[in-house]
Chain A
């Protein structure tokens, strides 16, 4: 692999890593189209490389966010169980349901989520009488104070994550793009905690896919290694940026990202890549 190719792949990983660490998404929506369109890779190879990149982003970002106490590990573990159940169902459904219509519906859901995130203010609930309930705290470096919140609608949020798992499994993308709005809008988790928790979760989700590709020998190692290095470096940069972006702005930028992802998915449903 030549130095220009290596450097460009690392750069792709860095971009995905920055986005991933900031917003709690995997970056697959960026990596896969770039690898297919600009590098001419087969979709399957691009997906395998993307999954390794997502794991690298997750590992890098989680190392920082878990250490800082922003990632809600307990909530992440719980929601990930229902997501995995949904993913299993999605793998089975995918054998007899076309995913074109589902991809289009999903892109509409992302647009709706983006609009709600712009129009609706964040409604984090102050923890009160938290005996056995889902109450958590993290230190916000922008506001320079501890932010406490009580997670709301836990059961319905978990059920929505099951649906998210089905959709993500069938369409191949979108784990973080669905889960962050679910946590922020429906469960009233502050956006920074939601993104950090999603970062923790997506690595586990990506593991299930990546290990299969790896065991089958379907991961282009050099490409995956370069993207992974970039993803890790990018995640370090992304976590630094988070420490000086306030939650309100982050929500607004996340909405724009949701619109972008929706557009990419709609184009994908049209068969461009």
Chain B
């Protein structure tokens, strides 16, 4: 049980930064700041690509 809680806690921590970028993107969309919302979206995509490529090497 303790190990499961620890696992979940670390998972939540690790994904926090990218979730923050996603929230920033939504917030920027709402502000109609489409340029920077697009930058945030591009960053999410690039980070996903980087993660996949890193897993291959």
Contact B13 A204 (CB under 8 A): no
A68 at the interface (CB under 8 A from B): no
Taken residue by residue from 76 to 102, chain A's Cβ proximity to chain B (1 for < 8 Å, 0 otherwise) reads as 011011001101100110110000000
Whether the Cβ atoms of A78 and B15 lie closer than 8 Å is no
Q: Which of B16, B50, B51, B54 contacts A59 (CB 8 A)?
A: B16
Specify which of B16, B36, B54 is in contact with A77 (CB 8 Å cutoff): B36
Report the minimal beta-carbon distance from B44 to chain A, rounded to whole angstroms.
9
Q: Which residue of B lies closest to A224 (CB)?
A: B10
Distance to closest chain B CB from A76 (angstroms): 9
Taken residue by residue from 210 to 225, chain A's Cβ proximity to chain B (1 for < 8 Å, 0 otherwise) reads as 1110100001011011
A145 to chain B, nearest CB (A): 26
Complex Cα–Cα for A43 and B32 (A): 46
The answer on a CB contact under 8 Å between A84 and B53 is no
Of the residues A84, A85, A208, A225, contact of B6 by C-beta under 8 Å: A225
Q: Is A74 in contact with chain B by the CB < 8 A criterion? A: yes
**Chain A binding surface, main DSSP class:** helix
Give the interface size bracket for B toward A: 20 to 34
The answer for the CA separation of A84 and B17 in the assembled complex, in Å, is: 14
Q: Does B1 contact A (CB under 8 A)?
A: no
Residue in B6, B7, B17, B54 whose beta carbon sits within 8 Å of that of A204 in the complex: B17
The answer to whether A81 touches B10 (Cβ under 8 A) is: no
For the A-B complex with A52-B14, A91-B57, A211-B51 known, give 12 more contacts whose Cβ atoms are closer than 8 Å. Answer: A56-B13, A62-B20, A78-B39, A81-B46, A84-B43, A92-B53, A204-B17, A204-B18, A204-B43, A208-B47, A225-B10, A228-B10
Provide 21 A-B residue pairs closer than 8 Å at the C-beta atoms, listed in order of the A residue: A55-B14, A55-B16, A55-B17, A59-B17, A77-B21, A77-B40, A78-B39, A84-B43, A91-B50, A91-B53, A204-B43, A207-B17, A208-B47, A210-B14, A211-B14, A211-B51, A212-B51, A214-B10, A219-B10, A228-B10, A228-B13
